[in-house]
Structure 1
């Protein structure tokens, strides 16, 4: 088929005319020389705050974090951030970021696999580092996320990635760190005739799902013992659950489901368990604490799950979990676009009892501990990755949050994004229109 030259020329011209803002910023190069930030208030992430502080880092690692008076400035490129605040890079758990771009376009969705039991599915290999959404999230200080599959009874394995990379291999912070289990919902009669008519069949399906889970975990335990002749990728992928090298993330909300699922996992020898969702976590806090179960709490910005609950129950749940001694982290589960609001749900929790540094820990160090990356991330401490955020205002306050600098493993990242460009574009447009009012031309007869 022949294509006319003018069409080719038009296509080339169109491609060349696409503005740079439409592209995701290129990944930053490795840190080439030592950097020292001085003069800011340092929020370490472990509850401590240092006024008039300095943070130095070299080759991607933090070399100094403390009072400015104790910093050695020799050999460092000094950046004066006086009056600003330094925070650890925020971490968002339980996310489909990079797996889902446009929900109405099937080709951009790669967050689930066919089948119900998929412990061997690796979500990270589908992670798209060129997602347009990623730069908008970095703008508010979220620099790492847990790429998590969805769907089925066992969705697959999650991995932790940093948000400035050329490809998924470069992005990995911790690969295949946990398996995600969606616990089958408990079912009760509601008085709704249409629902109750299907209740019997739904209970049968739940029982079938539990039987399948029991068979899988029993087979996995036998497989791990070495009593097999052929390799089974599905069973091999679960081995880490029994020696503690992988975590089992159980997605459950109802209190009885939380207790049932934890008991199930412990009976089958699972070492590390985390509850994801946890709307009823406060009601079973004693059980969670006694069993050393951490919670990734979803839905701070949500309505109560029951009509009889206080209207502000989701807002004060983080404080109540902290008060009960349960280790918890926060996630923003409403949409991938909303992940940028992660610091603000922590801010909401501070208005309902949680201390500001405790709230910061719930989206930084606590999350790192739960994900098993706290030796390299989650707080601004010597020896850890220099994944750092600098804000001219309070990072947890929507009104004053203004990230001016961000570093991932010591690399200064580009904070531009399409939304910033569009804001500036139209802001300038209307400013120019105000300077030059439009003139109205009338006909001679008027």
Structure 2
């Protein structure tokens, strides 16, 4: 018994001896009083820009957005942001944020389920609000994301969450907005003696997958009609595809795959279709437009898909999609740690043809429309959620982006994150060392 107590005492002492490290900030409390931001340039998100503007919000909703001269200051806590810029909170679509923390630690990876056909999987219930990555993306103005499952042929459903909550239930903005279908690839790498055999096996596997998909969608349509004797969770989870309450997100990049996937969905009566990835979207723009298909374009900061393409093709694709009249949003599709760069891919698109406000819309209002949450978020307009950011510089320019305030549903967000904590920690260390260098000594000699 004495040994047991001794070990407990040692453990307690060790815990108190460990220095404090950066933790994910606690979620902000509900807005308690009306707030009015004044003096900034307002970028509404729908293409409009208001100089010397004011934005007021109460109980989490925007009550005023317009010229400062028309704002009623009575009863508001006024925050002077003169010379800064107000933007809608940015929205990252198609992300495993909160589902994957440390790739080398299996227990922190929860973005896919076992098996190929998992329409009943709900990714949002695995969403981790305590992820260390979340504060780092909020610091650059990304305040919402589409939590998306990965892997298999049908990965499951995605949900829209805001990035400041105690748990996944509190985080939900709109649950189970769409089903994610990874379209079977038509392409395979060749260049070796086994190429023919690999192609043959691939063709067989693809044909098998296509038959399984066709069967599943036909059965789901019958289930939707009510012609069934027992409950089937997989089929029940797909019924929204046939009445337009749920969208089908087809993940495909190759032009023929996009056409095949859309035609497949249309054949089975799917009402709302979005293509994700869409590297070849410009090549099949007429087809996409004719079928009212929206696009979540991935890979702005990427190399061209083909050797014959212009080297800047990924950069100018957003502009070409806009010119073609295709509804589109931008997605930072690389490592989830890079989601904080979402505003900068919009900035790149602006440098390669898009108007600056059109580029902003591609990561705010356009995304909200495609995800089906534009009535709540995506622009700074009266009646919508007060989910917005204030930046001392251009939010889309990595040289001047400097988020000074962020609000989610009217709640003021703590912009502290792990990187900032480490910066302050080591900045203090080296400042202290610099001050300890004796007068007349150089820093290099002091280091010796």
TM superposition score category, shorter chain reference: over 0.9
Query: Structure 2 CA distance, aligned partners of 1:403 and 1:203?
Result: 50
Partner of 1:28: 28
Question: Which aligned runs of 4 or more in structure 1 are off by greater than 6 angstroms?
Answer: none
Query: Structure 1 CA distance, aligned partners of 2:8 and 2:280?
Result: 60
CA contact (8 A) 1:189 1:196 kept: no
Does residue 210 in structure 1 map to residue 207 in structure 2? no
Partner of 1:146: 146
Change (3 A) 1:189 1:343: closer
CA contact (8 A) 1:120 1:156 kept: yes
TM-score normalised to structure 2 length = 0.96
Partner of 1:330: 330
Does residue 194 in structure 1 map to residue 173 in structure 2? no
Query: Structure 2 CA distance, aligned partners of 1:12 and 1:260?
Result: 62
Query: Structure 1 CA distance, aligned partners of 2:260 and 2:101?
Result: 35
Query: Structure 2 CA distance, aligned partners of 1:18 and 1:336?
Result: 29
CA contact (8 A) 2:247 2:273 kept: yes
- Structure 2 alignment gaps of length 5 or more: 443-448
CA contact (8 A) 1:187 1:199 kept: no
Partner of 1:100: 100
Does residue 48 in structure 1 map to residue 48 in structure 2? yes
CA contact (8 A) 2:83 2:392 kept: yes
**Higher deviation after alignment, 166-175 or 424-433:** 424-433
- Structure 1 alignment gaps of length 5 or more: 441-446
Partner of 2:385: 385
Q: CA deviation at 1:431?
A: 1.9
Change (3 A) 1:19 1:29: farther
Query: Structure 2 CA distance, aligned partners of 1:197 and 1:107?
Result: 37
Does residue 182 in structure 1 map to residue 218 in structure 2? no
CA contact (8 A) 2:346 2:359 kept: yes
| Root mean square deviation of aligned Cα | 1.4
SS in 1 for 2:93: strand
Partner of 2:348: 348
Partner of 1:397: 397
Change (3 A) 1:435 1:184: same
Partner of 1:249: 249
Partner of 1:443: none
Q: CA deviation at 1:190?
A: 4.1
Query: Structure 2 CA distance, aligned partners of 1:62 and 1:283?
Result: 41
Q: CA deviation at 1:228?
A: 0.5
Change (3 A) 1:82 1:289: same
Change (3 A) 1:380 1:189: closer
1:303-318 maps to which residues of 2 (within 5 A)?
A: 303-318=303-318
Q: CA deviation at 1:75?
A: 0.3
Query: Structure 2 CA distance, aligned partners of 1:2 and 1:217?
Result: 66
Q: CA deviation at 1:425?
A: 1.1
How many residue pairs end up in the alignment? Answer: 440
Query: Structure 2 CA distance, aligned partners of 1:157 and 1:14?
Result: 44
Query: Structure 2 CA distance, aligned partners of 1:257 and 1:193?
Result: 26
CA contact (8 A) 1:189 1:199 kept: no
Partner of 1:293: 293
Partner of 2:16: 16
CA contact (8 A) 2:31 2:411 kept: yes
Query: Structure 1 CA distance, aligned partners of 2:399 and 2:429?
Result: 25
CA contact (8 A) 2:22 2:421 kept: no
CA contact (8 A) 1:394 1:401 kept: yes
Does residue 79 in structure 1 map to residue 74 in structure 2? no
Query: Structure 2 CA distance, aligned partners of 1:3 and 1:194?
Result: 64
Q: CA deviation at 1:31?
A: 0.3
Query: Structure 2 CA distance, aligned partners of 1:38 and 1:433?
Result: 42
Change (3 A) 1:130 1:18: farther
Query: Structure 2 CA distance, aligned partners of 1:195 and 1:289?
Result: 36
TM-score normalised to structure 1 length = 0.96
Change (3 A) 1:13 1:413: farther
Partner of 1:419: 419
Query: Structure 2 CA distance, aligned partners of 1:207 and 1:4?
Result: 63
CA contact (8 A) 1:177 1:371 kept: yes
SS in 1 for 2:187: coil
Query: Structure 1 CA distance, aligned partners of 2:165 and 2:219?
Result: 38
Q: CA deviation at 1:19?
A: 4.9
Q: CA deviation at 1:232?
A: 0.3
SS in 1 for 2:194: helix
SS in 1 for 2:429: helix
Query: Structure 2 CA distance, aligned partners of 1:261 and 1:382?
Result: 39
Deviation string for 1:83-120 (max 9, x for gaps)? 00000000000000000000000000000011111111
SS in 2 for 1:193: coil
Deviation string for 1:10-31 (max 9, x for gaps)? 3223333455543210011100
